[in-house]
Amino acid sequence: MSDALRQTPELVTLTVNGSVHQVQLDSRTTLLDALRDHLELSGTKKGCDQGACGACTVLLDGKRIVSCLVLAAQCEGREVTTVEGVTVDGRPHAVQEAFCRHDALQCGYCTPGQVMSAISLLAEGRAGSDDEIREFMSGNLCRCGAYPNIVAAIREVAGQEATSR
């Protein structure tokens, strides 16, 4: 048997939604699997495990990434934010509320990833027009086809932010 198969678990320190966790992980464990299988944060979803669907989108140091393409061990010393960590004082994030109002979801499986991507998109200043929203949300697949409602939800939050600025 090759040495590559003899994986000894490593102790990894992860900071997720402001809390510090120490977990024993196989060094092959992705951030996505660490969240779902070791930290009981199953809000982040796996749609492909290949970086192609966006269901696993989280924020790493404030920027959106697909957590299936990052090893958990690479995240030591960095801030991970998941869908469980975006509520504000126990209240849903404005993006989450807008998704509910606009029915920007159906089965809901892509939704945590869409929400995280949308939050990041707004922070990136990429919600200037519907076309811009569509383009910069295109890394998040929705097989249920909620796209027009996702755009409407983000447009609304972007508008509110624009007026409150």
Partner 1 sequence: MTALDRVDAPLKVSGSAPYPSDFTLPDQVHAVLVQSTVAAGRISAIDTTAALAAPGVLAVITHENAPPLADLPMTPLGAPPRFPFKDDRIIHCGQHVAVVVAGTHEQAASAARLVQVSYETAKPVLDLDDPRAEVVDNGWGMEVDVGDAEAALSSAEITYEETFDIAPEANNPLGLFTTLASWDSDRLTVHDCSQWPIMTRQALATAFGLPESDVRVLVPYLGGGFGAGLRAWSHTLLAALAARVVGRPVKLVLTRPQMFTSVGHRARSRQRLRLGMTGAGRLVAIDQESTAALGAEEDNFSAVVLGTPHAYDCPNVATHDRQVRLNIPNPGFMRAPGHAEGNFALESALDELSYRVGIDPVELRLRNFAEVHPQSGLPWSSNALRECLQVGAERFGWRDRSPVPRSTRDGNWLVGYGMAGVTFGWYAAPCRARLSILASGTAVLKAAATDIGTGTYTIAAQQVAELLGLRVDQVRVEIGDSDLPPAPQSGGSGLAVALTGAIQVAAANLLRALLDEVAADARSPLRGRRLDEVTASDGRLHLIDDPAVGEKYADVLARHGLDELTADGELDLAAAAADAGVAPAGAFAARFAEVRVDEDLGLLRVTRLLSVVDGGRILNEKTARSQIIGGTVMGIGMAMFEEVAFDHATGRVANATFGDYLIPVNADVPDLDVVFVGGPDAFSPTGVKGLGEVGVVGVPAAIANAVYHATGRRIRSLPITIDQLM
Q: Give the Cα separation of 69 and 47 in Å (integer).
A: 12
Binding to partner 1 in span 66-105, by CB under 8 A: 82-84, 87, 92, 96-97, 99-101, 103, 105
Give the residue, chosen from 105, 116, 133, 158, that forms a contact with ligand FES under the rule CB under 6 A: 105
Give the residue, chosen from 15, 38, 42, 51, that forms a contact with ligand FES under the rule CB under 6 A: 51
CB atoms closer than 10 angstroms to residue 135: 12
Between 22 and 112, name the residue whose CB sits nearer to partner 1.
Answer: 112
Integer Rg of the chain from CA: 17
Binding to ligand FES in span 65-94, by CB under 6 A: 66, 68
Give the residue, chosen from 46, 64, 93, 102, that forms a contact with ligand FES under the rule CB under 6 A: 46
CB of 77 to partner 1, least distance (A): 23
Q: Give the Cα separation of 17 and 5 in Å (integer).
A: 32
What mask of x and - would describe binding to partner 1 in positions 8 to 47, judged by CB under 8 A? ------------------x-xx---x--xx--xxxxxxxx
Give the residue, chosen from 9, 144, 148, 159, that forms a contact with ligand FES under the rule CB under 6 A: 144
What residues make contact with partner 1 under the rule CB under 8 A? Answer: 1, 5-7, 26, 28-29, 33, 36-37, 40-50, 52-53, 55, 82-84, 87, 92, 96-97, 99-101, 103, 105-112, 115, 130-131, 133-135, 137-151
